[in-house]
Structure 1
């Protein structure tokens, strides 16, 4: 055995010396710091192996004998040897000799039991040290390794399959887009009336997916005017509206106007309150506001309530709302003006949960801004949908350059359009929704920009794109 000592200012340098002198497989025996230096005692790998494994022909390499240290076994080993040596120690004893001269029997037992005592430690010390055995890998470890390998293989296969499916979908989309472009390119030359109707629908603000679906279902043999009338009829039939306000004003109940900030919830609440007061009187109506965030929001509704002679109650949370509704259960109609929250705010979910858990059947009316884009309105509907909307009110109709975008969203999401608001006057600028009038107005607003909005070469690209929401257009009822 050749143990070497290495010293260096740092452990890194000391280990480098060990590696250079004894190789990368050297065995580190000790590592300590002394007088500002690091001292390492190391042994070469070959010397360590010679210590662990004895020489092949040495006595230490022989198997250890099995020892039976029980008293009967020791007596069997020692007793014959003791009898062989006994004649040389004393002459044979005859039977005629006196009993006092005969050797005592217990001496033989004592000698027999005490003789092997010194040999037991020699046998114990001569036995070689047991060889260290490699730790055995049990069945559970093997099963865990196999399951880990299988799981890794499955994850790899799933990732490859997902990538392959993404590529297939991309290829399918490209092929559908190219085929749709070719199809619409041929449609422009073969059926120019469809191209004219398509231009008018896009100019009115309707989505390209809904326009494409309706034009594909357009009956053949019609000119442009008849085709447009058919489109208007289908759109008006799919626009769900309230036939008369008796279902809302006369039936009564609890109604909450919800929507983003600035869509006209407070003004619409005042307009509905004026209609209820004119129909049933101020004692049958109650107003509640949850808008405690904006400065002056509560005062605005309070002024409207003072003009109408109606008390306005302010609540902060679900518990207050529950108490207020319980106190106002004898009222015919209760209108709740909620705080305006962005459709992307987490407070939307909290507001919907508060209204649903108020302990009363609160019908939510969504206010849709007609000046907003189609994508924004779709986000608003999805955010405020919750368990279902009782209906919607289209506001700021007088400010919108095109109202087809709002009508498209109402048709797609199958909302029940109760009222349309086209001004700030209370209650004059609130009207029942007339589907025929609204569809006709949507096409009249952009009549001047029909032919200048899109070029002929742009229509195939627009109609051939992968347009979202096309599946929703399939639910449009034709007739």
Structure 2
């Protein structure tokens, strides 16, 4: 028998390591949470213990043990530690122990020994000093249950995908293509319902892309042509300052520099405002810094005669109190300021969604997708825009000012996403993980 331990950040990754190295016939014989992830112990050619007839006199002992287990579970529900019993997860072992006791098997005897070996105290002392279940022990129970749930969801996800792949090959093919675009699973599921009656795969794929183009929100008019105050917000490294320079240069080339002003609220990065001042000197437009001496309201009042004012902000961590102050200052201006959320197309969907939740308090009217030229997929960004109904205002696909900036157009973005995906499709393991994620979301909701 071959036994090996596997370490990974989560249960799904650990299960994938087991399958890749030991094959589908491997058995998971133990799992536990460790620092930085989970640990699985897997065995190949593992034989489960066989049931043997009960030994004489064991029936009475098993019956007593069963009564103690039931009593322990009742005490646990009341928030007290049982007078005599283990610190392992009753939810995991209770039913199997009771069944084993009824059958009088050797497996039950092994579990009994494990329960007693973990923690045994004199019955009289435990009865005289009952203690509540400790928080650490409850956390350990919850962690063990969560690990088993994650393992079960992974297995069920693989089974669910196998059924779809076998019995609905047309739908499975479309699933693979949509997931390979990088679109969120729930959005893929919603799109597939719209072509459920189409039997031809090619026609269904074209209809899916058409629905995707129509459902993608974009700003019909160019925002800088409307004028007013436009603030760019977003996480660190999204490309706010470079994008602001592109917008300013774009406007100056068309309307001149006399009606444009630049403002920066980024006083946290070393040399951040100097970068904007250099841009202001090149474009011949004024630049002001919002700091302790000059509030945003005062600076905007100073530039009240300008047709277009572009405001650059600092990219800060979500827990940073300065971020909340910065967003509150923007929100205090009300409809006077139009906010655009700058998102890097190279980011994962979870990162993009976290950025949306962090900055939605300033009511962004749209988003700018940056670093499109560096992205492997566009589905994550397009999926967020569709789910949150956040119109795409501009797309930036390079560092050149102002050339690498274009307005967001639905069918062009979808065509570019398809071009990045190529003719490849998602692998079976990826699809199994997607279906496991759907099961997890359904259970969570």
Give the 5 Å matches for 1:263-412: 263-317=238-292, 320-358=295-333, 361-412=336-387
Does the 8 Å contact 2:157/2:439 carry over to 1? no
Change (3 A) 1:360 1:240: closer
Q: Report how many aligned residue pairs link the two structures.
A: 309
Distance 1:317 1:195 in 2: 58
Change (3 A) 1:183 1:220: farther
- Aligned equivalent of 1:447: 422
Deviation at 1:383, TM superposition (A): 0.2
Give the 5 Å matches for 1:118-129: none
Normalised by the size of structure 2, how large is the TM-score?
0.62
Change (3 A) 1:193 1:325: same
Deviation at 1:343, TM superposition (A): 3.4
Does the 8 Å contact 2:266/2:313 carry over to 1? yes
Q: Report the secondary structure of 1:199's partner residue.
A: helix
Q: Report the secondary structure of 2:361's partner residue.
A: coil
Does the 8 Å contact 1:177/1:466 carry over to 2? no
Which of 1 and 2 has greater Rg?
1
Show structure 2 runs of 5+ residues with no match.
Answer: 1-77, 80-137
Q: Report the secondary structure of 1:431's partner residue.
A: strand
Change (3 A) 1:264 1:468: farther
Q: CA RMSD in A?
A: 3.3
Does the 8 Å contact 2:183/2:383 carry over to 1? yes
Distance 2:252 2:440 in 1: 44
Deviation at 1:199, TM superposition (A): 1.1
Match of residue 462, structure 1, among 429, 434, 438 = 434
Does the 8 Å contact 1:348/1:383 carry over to 2? no
Distance 2:408 2:154 in 1: 38
Normalised by the size of structure 1, how large is the TM-score?
0.58
Change (3 A) 1:221 1:328: closer
Show structure 1 runs of 5+ residues with no match.
Answer: 1-154, 157-162, 472-479
Does the 8 Å contact 1:204/1:404 carry over to 2? yes
Q: Report the secondary structure of 1:368's partner residue.
A: strand
Report whether the alignment pairs 1:252 with 2:227: yes
Change (3 A) 1:446 1:250: closer
